[in-house]
Every structure is written in structure tokens, then in C-alpha cells.
Amino acid sequence: MILEQEKILKTYFGYESFRPGQGEVIERVTNTTNTLAVMPTGGGKSICYQVPGLALDGTAIIISPLISLMKDQVDSLLALGIPATFINSSLSTEEQESRMNEIADGRYKFIYVAPERFESNGFIHVIRRIKISLVAFDEAHCISQWGHDFRPSYRSIVPTLKQIRNIPVYMALTATATEEVISDIQELLHIDNQNVINTGFARDNLAFHIVKGKDRTSYIRAFLEEHQDESGIIYTATRKQADTLYDQLSSRGIEVAKYHAGMSEHARKQAQAAFIHDEKPIMIATNAFGMGIDKSNVRYVIHYSMPMNIESYYQEAGRAGRDGEASDCILLFSPQDIQLQKFLIERSLMDDAAKQNEYTKLQAMVNYCHTQVCLSSYILGYFKDKSPHKNCGRCSNCVEKLEKTDITEEAQMILSCVKRMGERFGVSMTAKVLKGSNDKKLRDFRLQSLSTYGLLSAYTEKEITERIHFLVAEQLLSTEQGKFPTLKLNQHSVEVLKGQRTVEMYTAPIPTGEEDDYYKDLFE
Ligand code: ADP
């Protein structure tokens, strides 16, 4: 059976072999077994329903909440000579009716529809009469209330579909692999455990990098200079950052596009089209840009500053390398980014519990910027990915050959300082005390009389801060979350203090670049 499907893969799509998971999914669906495919972005989910759709008789119905992608999908099938169409609200009523008539005549192998289509009696009437090969739920995490993008209208069509007797097999596809989402989808669509094909989250073609202490604009200019013919996205945390960077780069004659929610819809559409068609291959954007962007040749995603959490980071960075080619995901980090994100959380309309949750997620993001483990493994660990993973060998932590130094003594000094400060202060005040700073707030709290005051005066405040963040990232020190997270000792800290545990750190080049003050006017 699988041989026949490989033939379809070759003849229609021109690919030599299946990617991990594809064969397993395709075999099940062709045997009319309900199946859930969990694959990372760019893993090749479309092939998973396109090959069985071609192997089986009848029309495949693909339900997708992303209207913007339907036309592209249909166009690429048509280009391969496969009859396909879509129906959604972007079409005139006449056009919708004419396509419905063609569907009723069984003219298509694939039809793409939005969930709302199932609220139309006319549509239900037509699909009851035709031969259906399969029904696929694309972006299936949207039907789960545990998904990050739950759409109730997506879930509510499941009972309607179950009353349509001529659907031989259901399949669901998603890149969101949390356990709750998976079991929710399984339950809704009656998918057994052995028919969940989960290839994990790993994106083997992405190389993650953290860049600290560099002037961001100069770094980006130098990077673009070296990657002239490549397409990439530069994400900024605010519209203002996007505007400024756009002006800086375009005034130097670099062809860039810009996209954020403060622009008119027309200007946004134009910018998106110019980017997609490689007229302007570099996009500077806020997180408003991205959902439903399917550009396969994005070679790099640069984050101008640290985003709010790992979920958004992985989703945005993951827009690089959808074609499977090696691509870079670079995060430019400066300690001020933490303040900026806290400001954005505080300013949001979330209630206190939700804000607290955001602070916890923010801490995991900050830890990512300070961890010394493989960055890929850190992300997979964050998502509790079960697939076997080892050091990626591509990220900045794997590649940079830094010297490992024993910093146990410094760690003990930091930990005892935290203790002596009553575990009531955050990173920056602790660094100031250890530095022996003459800060007014420090004196107001009478912290200069502590025995740990000035204990690390040989270091710069930045170096001390870096070491404190490192201890937190290594879980040798805890933080109590909130607007002003305070440092607390934990069981591991005690082991370090008692000399039962040594602490080693790769001494990264200490940031020396100019401090940029892009964020200052935000707080005015
Ligand atoms: P996803 O929907 O999982 O993000 P896509 O279905 O868009 O991914 O596929 C990503 C890219 O990989 C596309 O360019 C697709 O043509 C390509 N692709 C998919 N399967 C294969 C395969 N077996 N061999 C080579 N390329 C593939």
C-alpha cells in the first residue's frame, strides 16, 4: 500500500520519500482510520491529507480557520493539475453558488472551507450527496479549549459533522503538542492512542542564537550586509521600534517592508504582498504579522528585543525555514527588555491572576536568554516534548567555544548576599549591593551596612547581574514572581552555600557594546 502512496508523492509532488511521520499518517488515513498528526511547522502536514485524498475516491474536505492560506493552498494544487477549490466569505454569493454546484457535481478532489461553512444548510445538503474521501481538521488545536487559539465555532461543528453519515475518516493536524490539546482532540474525533502520530516539536533546520550586549541596529545592519539575497523577518516588541528601525534601514537604501497594527489595512496588505513575492524580502514587524503567513524561504527571524514568552518566541522564530533549509533564529537581548515586557504586562487589561501567569512565563523567557544549555533542548523541555533530543550542535550555546570557569565562590557570595538582604529584593538591587554602589535607594534601605556590601566590587554591575541571572536559569536561586520579582534561596542554593555543589559557568564575552535607549520614552 505504502508503495502506491510513494508513487503519488513522486508523480504529483516530485518528492523522493516521506518525511518522518508522513508515511504513518498516510497509511492510517488511507485505511480509513481516524488519525491525529502532530508535526512541527514546516514538517509537511499538507502532504498528509493530500496523498490520501488522491489515493482515495471522492472529495477531500479540508477545514481550516486560516482563510488567508486557502487560496495559496488551492493555487498550488491547481498548479500540480489537481482539481481543488475553496469556499469562504471572501467570495461573492454568486461565486460561492457556482463553486457549490461544481462540488455537487463531484468535480473536485479537494475543497477547503472555514468552519462557519457548516452553519449553512445548503452546504450540508451538498456534502451529504457527494462521495467524500476524508475530512481533515487543519490547525486542529483551534478545536480544543486547551489550545492557545481556541475557536468555539470550530468545536461546535463536530456534532454536525457526526450526523453526516458518508464521512469515512477524520483526521486532525496540528503543531501544538501539549497533552491536554492532544487528548481533547482525540476525544472529540474518536482517535485511539496508537493513531496519534507525534513527531515532536523539534525543528532540526533551525539554529537558535542569543546575542547580548551589542548595539542592535549596528548588529542588524552588519547581518543584512552578510545575508543580502535572503529573505527574513525582524520582529520588534513595539510599533515605535518597528517605525524607528524601518526608517534607519530604509534611509540607508536597504529595501525593507513594515507591518504593524497602527498602519492602515491597505498599507499592511501591500507590505505583506511585497514581502511574500520577494519584492521586499525583509519584513520589519510587530507580532501583528504572522498568523497565516506561509512563506517557505524565510532564512532568518531576528527578534530586535526579547518577546514576552517562549510560546510567542517559538511561533515567531518558527516562521523561518518552513522549506526545511537551514535557517537562523536570532534573539537580541538586553536587560532592559525585561523592564519593557513587564511594562507591557502591567499596562495590559489582564486581571491579577492572568498577569501573575504572564510573569511566570516571562521568567522562563528570561531564563532562556541566560541558560547555558542547548537552546533547542531548552525550548523542547519547556514544551515537555517527549521526542528524544540531544544537544543540537547548531545553537549559539552549542557552537560558541567559551571557557568553563568555576564560579562557586562568586555564587556563594551572591547567595549569602540574597540571604542577608532578607530575600526581599530583586536582581538589580542585589547586584548593586554586591558592587558596593552608592545608590540612594540602597542607602535608604541601609543595605550598605551589610557584610556582603561591595563583596564583588571587582566586577561590573552588569557582570554581577549576568551571574545572578545565570544562577536563576540554573535553578540555583529562585525568584518569586510579580511586578518586582524577589530573589529567594532554594534547596540547591543551600547546597552551594554549604560547599556541597560546585558552580561552573561558560564565561561569555562580557557585554561592552553601547547601551541603546530605545525604550526610554515608553515610560514617560
Ligand atoms: P506544515 O503545514 O506542516 O507547516 P507544509 O505542509 O507547508 O508544512 O510543508 C512544508 C514544506 O515542506 C513545503 O514546502 C512542502 O512542499 C515540503 N515537503 C513536505 N513533505 C515533503 C517531503 N516528503 N519531501 C520534501 N519536501 C516536503
CB of 45 sitting under 6 A from ligand 1:
yes
* Residue (of 310, 301, 263, 264) closest to 282 by Cα position: 301
Residue identifier of the C-alpha nearest atom 18 of ligand 1: 44
CB of 419 sitting under 6 A from ligand 1:
no
Q: Looking at the CA of residue 40, tell me the nearest atom of ligand 1.
A: 3
Residue identifier of the C-alpha nearest atom 24 of ligand 1: 15
Q: Residue 401: its pLDDT value, please?
A: 61
Over residues 225-242, mean pLDDT: 94
Over residues 57-69, mean pLDDT: 90
- Could you tell me if 189 and 374 are in contact, meaning their C-beta atoms sit under 8 angstroms apart? no
Q: Residue 178: its pLDDT value, please?
A: 76
Ligand 1 centroid vs 253 CA: distance in angstroms? 35
CB of 43 sitting under 6 A from ligand 1:
yes
Residue identifier of the C-alpha nearest atom 9 of ligand 1: 44
Over residues 504-511, mean pLDDT: 63
Q: Residue 177: its pLDDT value, please?
A: 66
Q: Residue 165: its pLDDT value, please?
A: 87
Q: pLDDT band for position 175 (50/70/90)?
A: confident
**pLDDT at 510 > cutoff 60:** no
**pLDDT at 514 > cutoff 50:** no
Q: pLDDT tens, 254-294?
A: 999 999 999 999 999 999 999 999 999 999 999 989 766 77
- Could you tell me if 59 and 133 are in contact, meaning their C-beta atoms sit under 8 angstroms apart? yes
Measured CA to CA, the distance from residue 152 to residue 170 in angstroms comes to: 19
Q: Looking at the CA of residue 19, tell me the nearest atom of ligand 1.
A: 23
Measured CA to CA, the distance from residue 515 to residue 524 in angstroms comes to: 19
Who has greater pLDDT, 519 or 303? 303
Residue identifier of the C-alpha nearest atom 19 of ligand 1: 44
Beta bridge partners of 369: none
Measured CA to CA, the distance from residue 497 to residue 115 in angstroms comes to: 58
ipTM above 0.95, yes or no: yes
76-80, 323-327, 335-339, 403-407 — which is least confidently predicted? 403-407
CB of 221 sitting under 6 A from ligand 1:
no
Q: Residue 350: its pLDDT value, please?
A: 86
Percentage of the chain beyond pLDDT 90 is 67
**pLDDT at 516 > cutoff 50:** no
Q: Residue 331: its pLDDT value, please?
A: 98
Q: pLDDT band for position 21 (50/70/90)?
A: very high
Over residues 152-162, mean pLDDT: 88
Q: What's the chain's average pLDDT? A: 89
Beta strand extents in 169-297 (DSSP E only): 170-174, 196-198, 206-212, 231-235, 256-259, 282-285
**pLDDT at 317 > cutoff 60:** yes
pTM (two decimals): 0.70
Total residue length of the chain: 524
Q: pLDDT band for position 512 (50/70/90)?
A: very low
CB of 44 sitting under 6 A from ligand 1:
yes
CA angle 388, 390, 393 (to 5 degrees): 140
Ligand 1 centroid vs 12 CA: distance in angstroms? 13
Q: Residue 324: its pLDDT value, please?
A: 82
CB of 41 sitting under 6 A from ligand 1:
yes
Residue identifier of the C-alpha nearest atom 2 of ligand 1: 45
Q: pLDDT band for position 112 (50/70/90)?
A: very high
**pLDDT at 248 > cutoff 90:** yes
34-38, 249-253, 506-510 — which is least confidently predicted? 506-510
Residue identifier of the C-alpha nearest atom 20 of ligand 1: 44
Q: Looking at the CA of residue 296, tell me the nearest atom of ligand 1.
A: 14
**pLDDT at 148 > cutoff 70:** no
Q: Which of 204, 322, 325 has most ligand 1 atoms within 8 Å of CB, for mutation?
A: 322
Q: Which of 11, 15, 139 has most ligand 1 atoms within 8 Å of CB, for mutation?
A: 15
Ligand 1 centroid vs 136 CA: distance in angstroms? 17
Beta strand extents in 264-315 (DSSP E only): 282-285, 298-303
